[in-house]
Structure 1
């Protein structure tokens, strides 16, 4: 008998054996997948002593097929904080396997819709995951209106879940959120506002006029620091508070790219879009301006986020970053959803 016949017979026998065992085999595959889903949370992020930064959303206000709305996770020791929760960002928080049941709180930079849309999901989904205490939500004056609105909108959902599963499994307190209005710093100096378990959180004011109050945040942990600019034009307060930061996360809008879209919209007679696109340029920083801020602050690394316009390909990404390496000599990361930076700290596990 030819060798090829032996191989064919062997393959038929193997296929038959697999077919005969298809039930147990499928059962093992399904069980493995269930285990993977149930045990996928990365709790090591809270035990390795490092300062972790995860970008859960890096888009601006307009829909971007590749990016969720603004959201940055900060994890340090047993502390897990979110800065802003833009549209679709919670899906990323979940899919990135972050320890959502241990969410410590949410910090809001300002009240544009693209920075708060998923707050209801953050409250509800972290409750479903196991958080049993009310969630603390911090932000500028007016935060109680925002939190109260979400609480009212989700009040029926809360009662449905408690009635269905019982208070032992869905304690009503976990569905609650508590609003905390942070003091508005008068000058450019950051004001310390929280220091939970060694993570120092400070707030500073940025320039997002005509928004009356908009914040940036500085995080310090075991000798390391991360600064999040929030939405702002190039401003001295970010430079001042990002001095020698290990990481500066700065928003960026490429006005040299949006100008083309504005001009074309005018040519086509789409005056409303042309007006709106032109207006947004005056209260955001360009990528080069963000790089200039990082250079002036002597920040060790720059991450660009709140990306606009959407970048469809490598050519667009190249145009977006044009000139940034001339303005800042340190490493520049074009942030994307899922970008993660792990910063070793004094006393971090090896």
Structure 2
């Protein structure tokens, strides 16, 4: 079994990230206030990790590399595509029927979101629009390290800006493709564009894979609607159907590479990665000392109507049902 590369020291991470170390409550308070104000204004998104040494690999990369799945005679792309199709077809198309019950086809990205939610390996990496939620993820399962190595004593929050022009929004990409079709049909009404429309309309994994790196927005009330001016009957709506992603204020960042972590493509200084079409700034990394764990836990729960804890971040169907009954029993108290 192969072993994924990690960062040996915080200094090692300097080449990959724009790093800031936080070692006191006062420093932490400053950054909490800063990013609570800036998160929506600047389109910032966050990812919390309980150990600073890990690179930003997604779960399908970790499985592919750790278990050396290439030895099964399939390519990485085939691995993802087969997994999607297996999920769609399982138990006589149960998942397809589940999505249809909500009035939506089982789009490939919807299947990937479902698989991600239930722990299957996917090329998606979880991020959140909420800095406080990222703080929860940075301390969830955190273990203090008995180590002289500085990196073992920190958890991390990673920050990217979804408004960076080079960071493709997959849904904007789909609508842009539909807009291009409209322009072509304006000039050439008899052109047959059915195949192209079908690929975009199905949110096909192959289309996503061609983008290389993309953000997939989270839940939106009433979903994301798409239109075709030349096809008034065209009706396409997509949304995240995932309990966790709603409370988590989550979104995904897709990475098509089988072996390069996400930060590999964010070089900064207008540097373009070989084989990538993007010029992306370095990802910001806040390294937070693990001694602040109890203080963070207090900041996320004290005085909040909805404390940011496991019940809030990981809502389960059974929990909703159980709490509904418990609330009835305790109603008069």
Larger RCO (CA under 8 A, 6+ residues apart): 2
Higher strand share: 1
Q: Tell me if both proteins adopt one fold, taking TM over 0.5 as the criterion.
A: no
User: What is the TM-score of this pair, normalised by structure 2?
Assistant: 0.24
User: What is the TM-score of this pair, normalised by structure 1?
Assistant: 0.23
